[in-house]
């Protein structure tokens, strides 16, 4: 879960197979993902909006610097894992943020995962064409 150490709030966010370690520090809104600027790592605007959503819900935009180490999954899974981690870190910072973040659905770990491929089939549920004769 989230922990606090010397004006830093740490949390882990997950989505699909992506895991994000989020470090929230007081600052001016700078976000670094895997030692790269946030805008460079996520060039698409909608993914950046997904990540910034917890700050908008709590009204804390620009008050924290965020350092993120994220691994696994694709860019969308990573963006949503970062959102999950930021929301958890904000709750560690101020427990009053729990209700608005919960209402927005940012504290719920999305359990949907890719279903495994079964043997004798081309994909998880797709079957090879059936031939009666």
Q: 110 lies in a domain? A: no
Alpha helix locations (H) across 36-133? 38-41, 45-58, 75-93, 98-104
Q: Is residue 96 part of a domain?
A: yes
Residue 121, domain member (yes or no): no
Tens of pLDDT along 65-113? 999 999 999 999 999 999 999 999 999 999 999 999 999 999 999 999 9
Check residue 51 and give its pLDDT: 96
For all residues of the chain together, what is the average pLDDT? 94
> Is 89 inside a domain boundary?
yes
Asked whether residue 82 is assigned to any structural domain, the reply reads yes
> How many domains are there within the chain?
1
CA of residue 89 relative to chain centroid, distance:
12
Nearest CA to 23 out of 88, 68, 90 is that of 68
φ and ψ at 24, to 5 degrees?
-105, 125
pLDDT recorded at residue 19 = 97
What range does the domain containing 55 cover? 3-104
User: What is the rounded average pLDDT of the residues 36-42?
Assistant: 95
Residue 1 pLDDT grade (very low, low, confident, very high; cuts 50, 70, 90): low
| CA–CA gap between residue 17 and residue 38 (Å, rounded) | 20
Place of tokens 């930021």: 86
Q: What is the mean pLDDT of residues 14-41?
A: 95
pTM: 0.90
Q: What pLDDT, on a 0 to 100 scale, did the predictor assign at position 133?
A: 85
Q: Which two tokens stand for residue 75?
A: 């860019």
Give the model's pLDDT for residue 4. 62
Find the CATH number of the domain harbouring 81. 3.30.230.10
Residue 114 maps to a domain: no
Q: Is the pLDDT confidence value at 42 over 70?
A: yes
Report the pLDDT averaged over residues 43-59.
Answer: 95
């Amino acid at each position: 879960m989230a922990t606090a150490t010397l004006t830093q709030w740490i949390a882990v966010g997950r989505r699909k197979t992506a895991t994000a370690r989020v470090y929230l520090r007081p600052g001016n809104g700078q976000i670094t993902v895997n030692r790269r600027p946030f805008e460079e790592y996520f060039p698409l605007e909608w993914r950046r909006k997904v990540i910034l959503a917890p700050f908008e819900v709590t009204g804390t935009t620009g008050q924290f610097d965020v350092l993120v180490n994220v691994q696994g999954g694709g860019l969308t899974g990573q963006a949503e894992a970062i959102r999950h981690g930021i929301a958890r870190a904000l709750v560690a910072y101020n427990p009053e943020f729990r209700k608005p973040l919960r209402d927005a659905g940012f504290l719920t770990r999305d359990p949907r995962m890719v279903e495994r491929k079964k043997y004798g089939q081309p994909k998880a549920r797709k079957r090879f064409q059936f031939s009666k004769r």
